[in-house]
Structure 1
Amino acid sequence: MKLRPYLLLLACLLPVCHAAERLTLAVEDDWYPFAAVHNGKIVGMAVEIVREAYRAVGVEVLFRSMPYARCMRQTELGREVGCFNSLQDSSTRDRFLFGQQPLFHGAITIYAQSGKSQPVTLADLAGKRVGLTNGYTYGTEVETDRRMIKEYARNDLASLRKLALGRLDYALVYTRVADYLQGAYSYELYGKLQVVGKVIENPLYLSFSRTNLRAESALRQLDQGLSMIRSNGRYAAITTRWSRPPL
C-alpha cells in the first residue's frame, strides 16, 4: 500500500499524462479550397497547413469557423487569438500581428462576362461596377481606389453570380477560388465568365490579435512550425495534394 503514491507519481510522468498544448483559432467558413465548411467539416489547404505547422511544435489546434468579416473583427477585439487567411497590406498591418512566414501565395484575378477580348488593368475599372466580398482585403491599390464603384457581396459566389447576370461589370476573386466555384456551380456559371486581368499575387497570412494574451506565443509557434514542415516535405505534400482539391 505504501507504494501506491509513488506508482501514481510515476504514471503521471508518462507521456499519456502530458496532453499536447491546445490552441483555438478562428477561420473563415466560405473560401474553398483554402478554408471552408465543406460537407459539415472545416477543411481546406490553409486549414491543413496551419494544423500541421502547430502539430510540428507540439500544439493541437482547434478551429472555430465563421464568416471572414466576423473572424477578423473578433480577432481585432481580442476575442480570438487569430484568423486566417489575410493579406498583409495597409488595411490590416496596423490592426493585426503577422509572422515572418506566410501560409501560401495567391493571385487575385479580374473576371468579366464572356466575350470581353481586351485585357483589363485596375485603371480600367474606374467608373465600373466591381464585385468584392465583404470584409476581404484586395491589396493597398484596390483598398485606396476611389474611382471604381465597389459593390460588396457576402461571398465570392454571390459576386460571380451577379457578374454572370450582368449586374456587375467586373469581379475580383482569387483564381483558385473562382476555378472551384465555376466547377461546383457550372449550371449557373459555366461559359459565362472569363479572366481579363490580374490585380496582385501576394502572400497570405494568419492574422493575430494585438490584444489577446495568447497571440504572440501562437505567432512564434506558427513561424517555427511552418519552417519545420517546409523543411521536412510535409508542406509540399499538402500543397501538391490540394492542387486538385477534392469536391
Structure 2
Amino acid sequence: MTHLTRRSAVTKALRLAALGVAASMALTGVARAEDLLAKVKAKGELTVGTELQFAPFDFVEDGKQSGMNKEIFAEIGKELGVKITFLDLPWPSVLPGLEAGKFDMVAGPATITKARMERYRFSSPIADATVAILKKKGDASITKPADIAGKKVGTAKATAQLAQLQEFAKTLPTPPTIQEYVDFSQSYADLGAGRVVAVANSLPNIAFLAKQKPDVFEVVEPPFGKPVYFGYIGTKAADAKSLMDAVDAVLIKMKHDGRLASLQKKWFGTEMATPDQVTEASF
C-alpha cells in the first residue's frame, strides 16, 4: 500500500511538472511573439531590405533614395514611433537576407504568389502587380502582348514577373527569347538601345517609366498576367508576427483614411483598389 501511495505521488508530481513545462512554453511563445516588435521599438529603428532599382517604389534620384516605399514607410515609422533604415541589395539577395536575419522585413515590394505565401508572411497589399509589356515608342510590330512571339524580351532574374512571362510564352505559337537581368534598370537600358524589343514588368512600374520618358517608351495594353498584388514581406517566425500585424494595421488604416490612394495617384497616376488581405494568390 505504501508502494502504491508513493507511486501515485510520483505520478502526480510528474503531471504537475509537465503542466508547469507546458505553461512555461506557452508563456515563452507569447513572449517570442512580441520579440521582434519589442526589439524594433526598444532600438527605435525598423531595418528594411530593398532594391533601389525598382521605380516608382524604390529608386535613386539626385543621389538620394526616392519613391513610394520611402513615403509609405515614413508613415509606418510615425505610427510605430521608430525611424526607418533601408538597406539596398540586388533583388536576388534580398529574400535570402531576410531569412538570414539581416533586416526586419522587406520593402521591395514583391508580387504575392502562392509559392511565396507558403514561405513568407505578406503585408496588406499596396498596389496592383499585374504584368504587362513595355516597348519602344512607335514600335508598330508590337500592338498586343502576343506580338512578342519569336522576339527577344527582357525581364529581371528571380522575379514573379519572369515566372509569369515564362507561363505566357508557353501559350504563344513561337516562344520569345527571354533575356534575364540582375535588375529592371538594365533591361530598360537594353530596350532603349534596341538589344531587346520589349520588357515584361508589373504595370505600375512600366507605366511610371513611360510617363517619365514618353518619347522613348510605351505601354502595350492590356496587361497579360494574372491579376496579382504587391505586398511587403516578413518571415513566418512566431517572433515576427507582432511586427507584421503592426505594419498591417498601419497599411489598412492608410487605405481607409485615403493616404495610400493619395500616394498611388502621385506615383502611378491613378488609384488602385486592393484588398485588406490576400488569403489566396492567383498565381
TM-score normalised by the chain length of structure 2: 0.64
Paired residues of 2:153 and 2:178 also in contact (CA < 8 A): yes
Matched, 1:168 2:196: yes
Provide the residue aligned with 1:131 in structure 2: 154
| Structure 1 residues 136 and 224: alpha-carbon distance in aligned structure 2, compared to 1, 3 A threshold | same
| Structure 1 residues 29 and 214: alpha-carbon distance in aligned structure 2, compared to 1, 3 A threshold | farther
- 1:1-247 to 2 correspondence within 5 Å? 21-83=44-106, 84-99=108-123, 101-113=124-136, 114-116=138-140, 119-121=143-145, 124-138=147-161, 141-144=164-167, 147-181=175-209, 191-197=215-221, 198-200=223-225, 202-210=228-236, 214-243=239-268
Larger helix fraction of residues:
2
Larger strand fraction of residues:
1
- 1:227 deviates by 1.8
**Cα distance in structure 2, aligned partners of 1:72 and 1:50:** 18
Q: Return 129-138 or 71-80, whichever deviates more.
A: 71-80
- 1:235 deviates by 2.6
Q: Return 90-99 or 80-89, whichever deviates more.
A: 90-99
SS at match of 2:86: strand
**Cα distance in structure 2, aligned partners of 1:88 and 1:208:** 12
Listed as ranges, the gaps of 5+ residues in structure 1 are 1-17
**Cα distance in structure 1, aligned partners of 2:135 and 2:265:** 29
Paired residues of 1:89 and 1:140 also in contact (CA < 8 A): no
**Cα distance in structure 2, aligned partners of 1:21 and 1:226:** 20
Q: In structure 2, what residue type is equivalent to 1:208?
A: G
Listed as ranges, the gaps of 5+ residues in structure 2 are 1-40, 270-283
TM-score normalised by the chain length of structure 1: 0.72
- 1:107 deviates by 4.3
**Cα distance in structure 1, aligned partners of 2:200 and 2:142:** 17
SS at match of 1:119: coil
- 1:219 deviates by 1.0
- 1:88 deviates by 0.9
**Cα distance in structure 2, aligned partners of 1:125 and 1:243:** 25
Q: In structure 2, what residue type is equivalent to 1:92?
A: R
Paired residues of 1:87 and 1:139 also in contact (CA < 8 A): no
Which digits, 9 at most, give the CA deviation of each residue in 1:139-181, with x for residues without a partner? 7543545644221123323212322333223211334433554
Q: In structure 2, what residue type is equivalent to 1:47?
A: K
Q: Which has more radius of gyration? A: 2
SS at match of 2:160: coil
| Structure 1 residues 94 and 49: alpha-carbon distance in aligned structure 2, compared to 1, 3 A threshold | same
Paired residues of 1:163 and 1:170 also in contact (CA < 8 A): yes
Which digits, 9 at most, give the CA deviation of each residue in 1:64-112, with x for residues without a partner? 222222222212334332212100114523332213x112224432123
Report percent identity of matched pairs.
21
**Cα distance in structure 1, aligned partners of 2:74 and 2:204:** 21
**Cα distance in structure 2, aligned partners of 1:148 and 1:91:** 25
**Cα distance in structure 2, aligned partners of 1:154 and 1:192:** 22
**Cα distance in structure 2, aligned partners of 1:63 and 1:90:** 27
Q: In structure 2, what residue type is equivalent to 1:70?
A: S
| Structure 1 residues 19 and 77: alpha-carbon distance in aligned structure 2, compared to 1, 3 A threshold | closer
